[in-house]
């Protein structure tokens, strides 16, 4: 058994197919311990630290920081017995004796894939990497196209070069085909499968065309021009810009932000949710003066002096109590049935540097008010450090988004996939309010409830929102009456 162990990128979220290496916590030559964090990886759900599977010495790091790596791909090699002497290295970091050296004949015997009907891995009709279909837990089958991993160069036998990111191998260039009497090249026709299909549909003979693409390949435009009877111009057209053209700006005044990781998954989920679940949003403005006074009294109690107490705590408690009165709000639409949950995994939307995430408190309905406060504090602190685990963001059943911290009155939030309701909690402001027949300054907030109209009709949504508002208007009376 080889003493050199290659550690593959694990599946960090039960179905995630790739991750981006944010930072290496070790370097080549370091001696590491079992379960020591060695690399920080960002998936589509969170940034996590991965511990070492073996103790030993780092022999090779296969991918640099910033690289996106598929699950199952080796990312590091560890010598599990560094005291046994030196190990001859190949360009991939593994012992040269453990890697088969391809012969010249095997390198030459490369079969060319059929030009028509071929399907790339990860696309519809083709096998996904690893022979499985990529599924994101809680979000259904992945619909984005898989990325093809670049081929790695093969090192010459006996090489002892340090491991580096493998450079792509340049494709061998075939001799230029001889021209026939018409000036067109003879031999194989260079054209991509979609172009060949287009030519077949339009009845165009590719052998009779002169390609305008790279290396003389035939493009879609070549086929379309041949089908319309318009010959391709041998000379490029010269276009004179009008003297009154609008001013243009260069790339030095643009910023391009890659869409990946948490931001990419959020965009995909929100787009899918917005166009699959019929959203309805209702609003309720509430006088929360008594609730704010109740919070002040709570902070003064000896056992609560070290606890972070915020208005969001009372909103969370109000939602949990209202769910007990209206269980259908805490459910999921599957298409064939409605699944009503007897537990509430309460999601709290959190804005982080990597994008919006929604970690949730498991079985929050069983927690006391103090336990709920501690759970919310821990959830927010973990989210701010970017260490929220994928498990903490899976399985949510009902969500609260606190837009009030940004000074916003309310909003029309989009449902997280698989949930039937989400509550927006707006800013608490002092406003003129009619109280006991007189206009007085009172602390007021506005709630916005979005819900899936396939499950929650107007009556149910209105009653649920009303009960949340009643609790916030007088939490002490509501606790006595509802519990």
Residues 6+ apart with CB under 8 A from 459: none
- What order do you get walking across the sheet with 56-61 strand by strand? 4-8, 74-79, 56-61, 31-32
User: What angle, 0 to 180 degrees and rounded to 10, lies between the N-to-C axes of helices 311-325 and 369-384?
Assistant: 120
Q: Is 325 in contact with 416 (CB distance < 8 Å)?
A: no
Q: Which residues of 10-45 are buried (b: 16+ CB within 10 A; e: fewer)?
A: eebbebbbbbbbbebbbeeeeebeeeeebbbbbbbb
Q: Which two tokens stand for residue 122?
A: 């990860």
Residues 6+ apart with CB under 8 A from 138: 394, 395, 396, 417, 418
* CA atoms of 166 and 200, how far apart (whole Å): 39
| DSSP symbols for 58-93 | EEEE-S-TT-EEETT-EEEEEES-GGG----B-TTS
326 is catalytic: no
Question: Residue 85: what are its φ and ψ, rounded to 5°?
Answer: 110, 175
Catalytic residue among 63, 279, 326, 453: 453
Residues 6+ apart with CB under 8 A from 353: 386
Residues 6+ apart with CB under 8 A from 293: none
127-130, Cβ contacts within 8 angstroms, sequence gap of 24 or more = 128/17, 129/17, 129/70, 129/71, 129/72, 130/70, 130/71, 130/72
Q: Which two tokens stand for residue 137?
A: 């837990």
* CA atoms of 302 and 99, how far apart (whole Å): 67
Strand 56-61 relative to strand 74-79, pairing: antiparallel
* CA atoms of 207 and 221, how far apart (whole Å): 15
Enzyme catalytic residues:
453
């Amino acid at each position: 058994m080889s003493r050199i162990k290659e550690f593959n990128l694990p599946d960090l979220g039960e179905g995630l197919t790739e991750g981006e290496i944010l930072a290496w916590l070790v370097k080549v030559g370091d001696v590491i311990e079992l379960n020591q964090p060695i690399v920080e990886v960002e998936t589509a759900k969170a940034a996590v630290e991965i511990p070492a599977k073996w103790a030993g010495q780092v022999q090779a790091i296969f991918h640099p920081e910033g690289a996106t790596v598929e699950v199952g791909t080796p990312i590091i090699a560890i010598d599990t017995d560094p005291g046994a002497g030196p190990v001859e290295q190949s360009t991939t970091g593994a012992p040269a004796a453990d890697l088969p050296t391809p012969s010249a004949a095997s390198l030459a015997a490369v079969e060319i894939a059929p030009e028509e009907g071929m399907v790339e891995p990860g696309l519809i009709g083709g096998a996904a990497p690893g022979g499985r279909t990529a599924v994101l837990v809680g979000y259904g089958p992945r619909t984005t196209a898989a990325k093809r991993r670049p081929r790695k160069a093969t090192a010459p036998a006996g090489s002892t070069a340090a491991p580096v990111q493998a450079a792509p191998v340049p494709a061998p260039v075939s001799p230029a085909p001889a021209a026939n009497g018409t000036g067109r090249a003879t031999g194989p026709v260079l054209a991509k499968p979609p172009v060949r299909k287009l030519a077949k549909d339009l009845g165009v003979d590719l052998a009779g065309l002169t390609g305008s693409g790279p290396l003389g390949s035939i493009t879609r435009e070549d086929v379309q021009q041949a089908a319309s009877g318009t010959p391709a111009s041998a000379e490029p057209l010269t276009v004179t810009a009008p003297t009154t053209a609008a001013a243009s700006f260069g790339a030095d005044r643009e910023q391009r932000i890659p869409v990946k990781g948490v931001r990419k998954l959020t965009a995909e989920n929100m787009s899918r949710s917005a166009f699959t679940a019929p959203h309805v949003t209702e609003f309720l403005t509430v006088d929360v003066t008594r609730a704010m006074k109740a919070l002040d009294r709570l902070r003064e109690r000896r056992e609560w002096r070290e606890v972070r107490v915020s208005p969001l705590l009372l909103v969370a408690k109000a939602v949990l109590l209202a769910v007990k009165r209206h269980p259908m709000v805490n459910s999921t639409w599957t298409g064939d049935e409605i699944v009503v949950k007897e537990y509430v995994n309460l999601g709290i939307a959190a804005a982080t540097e990597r994008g919006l995430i929604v970690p949730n408190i498991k079985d929050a309905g069983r927690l006391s008010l103090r336990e709920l406060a501690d759970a919310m504090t821990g959830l927010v602190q973990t989210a701010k450090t970017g260490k929220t685990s994928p498990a903490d963001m899976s399985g949510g059943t009902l969500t609260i988004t606190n837009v009030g911290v940004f000074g916003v009155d309310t909003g029309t939030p989009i449902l997280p996939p698989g949930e039937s309701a989400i509550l927006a909690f707006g800013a608490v402001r002092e406003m003129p309010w009619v109280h006991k027949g007189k206009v007085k300054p009172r602390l007021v907030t506005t709630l916005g409830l979005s819900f899936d109209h396939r499950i929650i009709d107007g009556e149910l949504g209105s009653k649920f929102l009303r009960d949340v508002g009643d609790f916030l208007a007088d939490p002490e009376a509501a606790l006595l009456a509802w519990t």
